[in-house]
């Protein structure tokens, strides 16, 4: 295939432009509050779009069409739970985060239980977020390798270094405002590709509806409620989707620093709630759009008789690069990179914030460290986490579907995290010993589910959250009684 200089030029202009745009915010970074919370002066609508950008990463853009291509629209059952979760977070967690000045979600655990629980939850966040973002870095490399013809390793290195630069310089302010710009770009790119794929299918939407409908591609809901072993092994059913989507998104958006950091950047508690709730409608629209792109690609390959590329995660970016006309392909590929870079830059900043605010600063604050010292160290922490993500991305090449791999990684610890946060918010009996005991029980349950059962990953968070909460509560009561006996 001949070089596509116009497309490559457009992609290069995007990469240079967005990097320069993000780096220009360096001058406004005077304190930790600026670097990690954008000075707590960010408009709610910008935070709303930034939340969507975090939730709609490259995993969504290249993984969601692949799910619809191989299956149907059943993933939307999970998204329904995402919407319920936003209401739960607005009622339970956001009011807690705005009582005092917090930089991370895990400061709430310190206030409620003590430093031990804070260190434990922050440590889990660092591990699981690094693993999940490593998968996302690899997902970007799929796109870059298709466009540039480079190997996956070279692509991973290029993407990581580019993302690191403006995150290192501009902090959370750069993250949020590049999210806003990139949000409009990748939505426009998705709409453009939807229209152009449709133009390549003889008969247009009517033909898509006929062939996709016959194959069951438009099926969304699976309401089967037979309580058999098969019930818990079905990944996408209405009940698994609603329960898991609610628990998973409550965990990721209510206890994970990646999203909580954005919520804390709002000017007020009210703005934070509005931003989160408004993001739900946009997220539902986007998942629907990318699933329908997968349906269109199914119809296209069926009608053309061409075998889809393998693995299926390559199907959407491969079509864009090979079939869209010059200029359009460059815009769509740049849009995919837009979502990816904004999301990973936010992860780097959140990992750095937890490292400094939950570990380094509590240990060394009494030593008379200055604000400039912490700010400088925050940038170096960002750089260090970039190198960690690079290493994980190299390992993620063998983890299967990038979307399901990313969600499965998050589900490993998010149930234990959510369980202990609910223990702190919903009960007064919970204490530090009980909280840590509950989390250990939850993690042990997670290991059992993964290694010894056929349960679908969509149920992991529901089960582990319940175990963590119940064991944590019972252990707290038991430890309290033992303490009373000991004192007597």
Q: Of the candidates 1, 10, 101, which has an alpha carbon nearest to the alpha carbon of residue 332?
A: 10
pLDDT above 50 for 276:
yes
The residue-averaged pLDDT of 469-479 equals 92
Which of 199, 172, 75 minimizes the C-alpha distance to 382? 172
Q: Taking the chain, what is the end-to-end CA distance rounded to the nearest angstrom?
A: 82
User: Is 407's pLDDT higher than 70?
Assistant: no
Angstrom distances, CA of residue 164 to CA of 132, 300, 347, 384: 17, 37, 11, 10
In the predicted structure, residue 341 carries a pLDDT above the cut 90: no
State the helix-helix crossing angle for 328-355 and 58-70, rounded to 10 degrees. 120
In percent, the amount of the chain with pLDDT more than 90 equals: 26
What confidence tens digit (pLDDT) does each residue in 49-76 have?
989 887 776 667 777 888 888 888 888 8
Number of neighbours of residue 321 by Cβ within 10 angstroms: 19
Q: Kindly tell me if the per-residue pLDDT of 352 is higher than 80.
A: yes
SS (H, E, C) 122-180: HHHHHHHHHHHHHHHHHHHHHHHHHHHCCCHHHHHHHHHHHHHHHHHHHHHHHHHHHHH
Q: How far is CA 58 from CA 348, 378, 385, 403, 477, in A?
A: 16, 26, 19, 9, 44
What is the rounded average pLDDT of the residues 373-398?
83
Q: What is the mean pLDDT of residues 276-305?
A: 90
Domain boundaries in the chain?
Answer: 5-397
Residue 78's nearest CA partner among 305, 279, 249, 303 is 249
Residues 5-397, CATH architecture: Up-down Bundle (1.20)
Identify the three-state secondary structure at position 382. Answer: helix
Please name which of 251, 195, 222 lies closest in space to residue 75, comparing C-alpha atoms.
222
Q: How confident is the model at residue 178 (pLDDT cuts 50, 70, 90)?
A: confident
Q: Is 228 helix (H, G, I), strand (E, B) or coil?
A: coil
Q: Which of 74-83, 169-178, 407-416 has the highest mean pLDDT?
A: 74-83
For the segment 277-300, the average pLDDT, to the nearest whole number, is: 92
| Alpha-carbon torsion, ordered 380, 58, 339, 20, to 10 deg | 40
- On average, the pLDDT of the chain sits at 82
């Amino acid at each position: 295939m001949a070089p596509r200089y116009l497309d490559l030029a457009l992609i290069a202009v995007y990469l240079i432009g967005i990097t320069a745009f993000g780096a220009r915010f360096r001058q406004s970074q005077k304190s930790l509050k600026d670097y990690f919370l954008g000075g707590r002066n960010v408009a709610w609508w910008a935070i709303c779009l930034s939340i969507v950008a975090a939730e709609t990463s490259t995993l969504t853009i290249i993984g969601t069409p692949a799910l619809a291509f191989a299956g149907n629209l059943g993933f939307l059952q999970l998204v329904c739970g995402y919407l319920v979760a936003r209401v739960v977070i607005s009622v339970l967690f956001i009011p807690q985060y705005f009582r005092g000045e917090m930089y991370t979600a895990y400061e709430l655990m310190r206030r409620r239980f003590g430093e031990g629980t804070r260190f434990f939850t922050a440590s889990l966040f660092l591990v699981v977020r690094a693993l999940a973002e490593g998968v996302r870095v690899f997902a970007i490399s799929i796109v870059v390798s298709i466009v540039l013809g480079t190997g996956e390793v070279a692509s991973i290195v290029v993407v990581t270094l580019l993302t690191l630069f403006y995150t290192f310089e501009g902090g959370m302010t750069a993250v949020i405002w590049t999210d806003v710009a990139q949000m409009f770009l990748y939505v426009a790119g998705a709409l453009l590709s939807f229209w152009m794929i449709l133009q390549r299918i003889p008969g247009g939407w009517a033909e898509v509806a006929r062939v996709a409908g016959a194959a069951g591609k438009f099926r969304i809901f699976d309401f089967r409620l037979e309580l058999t072993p098969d019930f818990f092994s079905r990944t996408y059913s209405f009940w698994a989707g609603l329960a898991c989507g609610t628990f998973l998104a409550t965990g990721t958006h209510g206890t994970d620093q990646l999203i909580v950091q954005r919520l804390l950047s709002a000017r007020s508690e009210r703005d934070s709630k509005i931003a989160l709730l408004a993001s739900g409608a946009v997220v539902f629209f986007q998942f629907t759009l990318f699933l329908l792109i997968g349906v269109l690609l199914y119809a296209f390959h069926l009608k053309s008789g061409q075998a889809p590329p393998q693995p299926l995660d390559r199907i959407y970016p491969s079509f864009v690069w090979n079939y869209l006309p010059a200029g359009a392909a460059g815009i769509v590929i740049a849009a995919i990179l837009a979502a990816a870079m904004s999301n990973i830059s936010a992860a780097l900043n959140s990992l750095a914030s937890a490292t400094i605010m939950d570990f380094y600063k509590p240990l060394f604050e009494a030593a008379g460290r200055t604000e400039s010292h912490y700010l400088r160290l925050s940038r170096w922490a960002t750089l260090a986490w970039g190198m960690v993500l690079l290493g994980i991305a190299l390992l993620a090449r063998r983890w299967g579907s990038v979307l399901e791999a990313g969600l499965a990684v998050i589900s490993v610890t998010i149930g234990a995290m959510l369980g202990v946060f609910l223990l702190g918010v919903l009960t007064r009996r919970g204490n530090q010993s009980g909280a840590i005991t509950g989390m250990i029980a939850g993690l042990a349950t997670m290991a059992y589910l993964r290694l010894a059962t056929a349960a679908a990953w969509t149920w992991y968070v529901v089960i582990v959250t319940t175990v963590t909460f119940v064991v944590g509560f019972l252990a707290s009561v038991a430890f309290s009684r033992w303490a009373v006996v000991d004192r007597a």
